[in-house]
Amino acid sequence: MSYWRFSDGTLVQSRAVVTGSGPLARRLRQQLMPLEYGCAPVVCLNPPQNTVELDTESDWLVWRWTLQEARSLGCDLLESDYEARLEDAPLSFQPMLVRTRGNFA
């Protein structure tokens, strides 16, 4: 199980388990609300500037989405045990990531 700890006190774990009361935790939980109704949240990931259903079983997608939201709020990643690999990205993303020279952080 992977985790990501952020400067506002937010902790995100595999399967998009979010704990904390900071701005990042509140935003992530708000975006995850469709899961309560059996729907996957749709998020935009940059690059490659695609919208995608957030599959919470994919640590790669949770990682990309969480980092992007953290950056937009000015939160820093303090600690994580996750190491992103190109092969963990969904197949639909891999060609775009190769074109951006592996810039998938």
- Cβ neighbours for 85, distance < 8 A, ≥ 6 positions apart: 60
Q: Which pLDDT tens digit goes with each residue over 9-55?
A: 999 999 999 999 999 999 999 999 999 999 989 988 876 667 888 99
Tally of CA atoms within 13 A in the half-sphere of 88 that contains its CB: 15
Retrieve residue 98's tokens: 């190769």
Retrieve residue 47's tokens: 């690059």
pTM of the model: 0.85
d(CA 22, CA 8): 5
The packing angle between helices 59-72 and 23-31, to 10°, is 130
